[in-house]
Amino acid sequence: MPMLDLDRAALTLTPGTGERLALAQYRADFAERQRAIRGRDSWKFERSQYFEEHHLGSDEFHRGDRSAARRAIDEGRAEFANWVAQDNANGTTFYRVRIVEEPLTPYLHWEMLLLRAQAECGNKIRVVHAEAIRHLEVDGVLPEVVTLGGQTLYEVIYTASGALDGGVRHVDQHKIEHWQTFTARLYESGEDVVDYTTRTLKDV
């Protein structure tokens, strides 16, 4: 996959230029702003290869009970489909780009199964290999970022162990546009997560 011709400086989120939100604030602010979006799309760029998750079969998967993990994921399908129905009603789509490094970490193996189920319910998710952005990460990996409706950008913050720890909210339109364009271009070049998991995983 060819590298993207993009400028790291345009993607840099300078400390202090956004508003740091604690976990509860972040969740409430994100939910409120997402509900208000009409007719504009949102984009998520997910870079880290490990997060701390304890839902939808993650614990069962890491204990080695993959059948139980898949059953737990399947129990979430109604909710996944509801996300899409709500977005459709609001005239918006939430696109997600998942960066992967191979071999997959155990966490990412579980997440691929989760993302596959979400995509089968209509969520728009594509996979991009880390090599496509490696030239942008000479000074460190890119952050986790969500842009909502072209109006808000969140740099998602995690603890050292990978647990969600809130976010930094940015409203600078130039940064929002750069990140939205960057993520959209990655999405365009990526592989559908269902195709990716079918091709690379044996337990789907």
Interval 20-51: pLDDT, tens: 999 999 999 999 999 999 999 999 999 999 99
Between CA 82 and CA 71 the distance in angstroms is 19
Mean per-residue pLDDT, 11-28? 94
CA distance 4 to 187: 12
Rounded distance between C-alpha atoms, residue 73 and residue 76, angstroms: 5
pLDDT of residue 185: 96
CA proximity to 68, closest of 110, 125, 121: 110
pLDDT at residue number 204: 64
Q: CB neighbours of 135 closer than 8 A, spacing ≥ 6?
A: 3
Domains defined along the chain, listed by start: 17-200 (3.30.870.10)
* pLDDT band at residue 170 using 50, 70 and 90 as cut-offs: very high
Mean pLDDT of the chain: 94
With a cut of 60, say whether residue 14 has pLDDT above it: yes
pLDDT band at 2 (very low <50, low <70, confident <90, very high): very low
* Beta-bridge mates of residue 124: 95
Looking at residue 8, its pLDDT comes to 86
203: pLDDT confidence band, cut at 50, 70 and 90? low
For residue 112, the model assigns a pLDDT of 97
Is the model's pLDDT at 88 over the cut of 90?
yes
- C-beta separation of 51 from 107 below 8 A: yes
Top pLDDT among 6 and 42 is at 42
Ordered strands of the 144-148 beta sheet: 19-21, 164-170, 152-158, 144-148, 42-46, 94-100, 124-129, 191-192
pLDDT at residue 1 tops 60? no
Helix (H, G, I), strand (E, B) or coil at 39: coil
Residues in a beta bridge with 60: none
What is the mean predicted confidence (pLDDT) over 135-141? 92
**Percent of the chain residues topping a pLDDT of 90:** 92
For residue 7, what pLDDT band results from cuts at 50, 70 and 90?
confident
Q: Which helix (H) or strand (E) holds 153?
A: strand 152-158
Give the model's pLDDT for residue 15: 83
